[in-house]
Structure 1
Amino acid sequence: MGVSNNITAVLNFIALLCSIPIIASGIWLASKPDNECIHLLRWPVVILGFLILLVSLCGFLGAYWYKETLLAFYLCCMAILIALLLIVLILAFVVTKPDGSYGVPGRGYREYRLDGFSSWLKDHVVDPKSWNKIRACLADTDLTSLLFRHDVVSLQQLVVTVM
């Protein structure tokens, strides 16, 4: 077996081992009580873990025993994965490019308003159906109890309290 196949086999074996905690965390999320935030993540995490397991297994077996069909399947899947990751990355930069921050005179921090973000993000957050999901997600966290406490009077104290 060539050196490049050894490297490919080792890297795919490591990816195979890393997929096990991803699958386990997805199953753990699925076993948690129903929560709007977790509801969005539970099955995509399990599916992603199994896809990583399948692709890395094909890459490992193809590189270890030099099975060209498995290596071809592995390379096609990796090319699709890289293209999808690039698309998600570009979309994230386009949507969040205007960061919504405004300078505050006399302060060392910047103010954030919804008006400064992209129109797609504003429309998505302002949409009542989306906002109800966001509100339900925030209601289940400890952040709301911190916001409504009377001794938290400024944003800086809130950040220090959360950290």
Structure 2
Amino acid sequence: MRTSNHLIGAVNFLTFLLSIPILAEGIWLSSRANTTDCMRFLQWPLIVIGAALMVVSLAGFAGACYRNTFLMYLYMWAMFFILVALIGFVVFAFAVTDKGSGRPVLNRAYSEYYLGDFSGWLERRVSDESYWVKISSCIRDSKVCGKMGREINGIPETADMFYSRKLSPIQSGCCKPPTDCGFTYVNETIWITGGGLVGGDPDCTRWSNDQELVCYACDSCKAGVLASIKHSWRKVSVINIVVLILLIIFYVVAYAALRNNKRMDNDEPYGETRMTKAQPSWIHL
């Protein structure tokens, strides 16, 4: 029994360590500038799961150290629901980020983003006008477009230099007009408009050289936000899958050790009963 308790304690300690990256992922998502920082509901499931896992593992560790059966059973049941929640989160994250990615552009190092390439719950959430007002305001306050400017030896970059840059989805979708509009480059966020719709893209009329507006009202900006969220969520989900596999292994080990404890507890009274029944013969001798 002592060996089983030590094993359960070790498993709970490892579970506590695994709760740290989950909690760190939620904090990382909340600190992501211009993307998930503007979608504050995204990180809360991870933060809640990570914090719950940390508390439950400590309870299980205490139960193993002090041989408290209630705490160990509480740990097993709570861990079961945490595993279900984590599996649900991973499945949900992959499901809502299933579609949509950037399109390559001829003679450009960056990609273009189109809202029509995305669909599902996340796309509807971002595209909702009442919610988009908050997201676009958050992006504007982050000054992401104002930070795009570059100088080389005190000289602003040329159009060719800009076209060879790798832009983030937010920078490409929100800070410049779509390439199809055919606007002439002045600097990173100022373009000479052609006065017409090239390719019939409505974003061409939504673009503004006003630095408080640029393309924050564009569908390409919404698509850029979606692409950025997809990238962050997929990165987090890969880590979660690894953590989930380890947690399941630890859970099975802890369950086996707890069953072994229970079996030994059930065997102990049986041994005492046999000794009690044998006592009269010893006395007789």
Q: Quote the Cα distance in structure 1 between the aligned partners of 2:80 and 2:164.
A: 44
Tell me the CA shift for residue 84 of structure 1. 0.7
- Which structure dedicates a bigger proportion of its chain to helix? 1
Tell me the equivalent position of 1:116: 117
Q: Distance in 2 between matches of 1:155 and 1:143?
A: 19
| Structure-2 residue corresponding to 1:153 | 162
Contact 1:100-1:115 at 8 Å conserved across structures: no
- Are the counterparts in 2 of residues 100 and 116 from structure 1 also a CA contact under 8 Å? yes
Greater shift, 111-120 or 6-15, is seen at: 6-15
Give the Cα–Cα distance (whole angstroms) in 2 for the partners of residues 127 and 17 of structure 1: 39
Return closer, same or farther for 1:96/1:49 CA change in 2, 3 Å cut-off. Answer: closer
Flag the 1:18–1:92 CA change in 2: closer, same or farther, 3 A: closer
Is 1:144 aligned to 2:145, yes or no? yes
User: 1:118-155 CA distances to partner (integer Å, 9 max, x unpaired)?
Assistant: 23222111111221221232233242322477748347
The 1:157/1:86 distance shift into structure 2, 3 A limit, reads closer
Letter of the 1:124 partner, please give it: R
CA distance in 2, matches of 1:60, 1:69: 12
Measured in 2, the distance between the counterparts of 1:155 and 1:121 equals: 31
Tell me, yes or no, if structure 1 residue 69 matches structure 2 residue 78: no
Larger deviation, residues 74-83 vs 97-106: 97-106
Q: 1:58 to 1:38 in 2, by over 3 A?
A: farther
The CA distance in 2 between the partners of 1:117 and 1:39, in whole Å, is 17
TM-score (norm 1): 0.65
Worse-matched range after superposition: 72-81 or 136-145 = 136-145
SS at match of 1:100: coil
Name the residue aligned to 1:9: 9
Q: Corresponding residue for 1:78?
A: 79
| Greater C-alpha Rg | 2
Contact kept in structure 1, 2:110 and 2:164, CA below 8 Å = no
Matches of residues 15-54 of structure 1 in structure 2 within 5 Å? Answer: 37=37, 40=40, 44=44, 50-54=51-55
Measure, in 2, the Cα distance between the counterparts of 1:91 and 1:132: 25
Secondary structure of residue in 2 paired with 1:129: helix
Aligned length: 150
Is 1:99–2:100 an aligned residue pair? yes
Report the equivalent of 1:60.
Answer: 61
How much has 1:19 moved relative to structure 2?
7.0
RMSD over equivalenced CA pairs, Å? 4.1
Shift in alpha-carbon separation, 1:8–1:106, aligned structure 2, 3 A: farther
Identity %: 29
The unaligned stretches of length 5 or more in structure 2 are 31-35, 151-155, 172-285
Does the 8 Å contact 1:146/1:158 carry over to 2? no
- Deviation of the 1:103 alpha carbon: 4.3
Contact 2:109–2:164 (CA under 8 A) maintained in structure 1: no
1:7 and 1:113 map into 2 onto residues whose CA distance is: 53
Deviation at 1:115, TM superposition (A): 1.3
Alpha-carbon separation, structure 1, partners of 2:90 and 2:7? 27
The structure showing larger relative contact order (alpha-carbon pairs under 8 Å, at least 6 residues apart) is 2
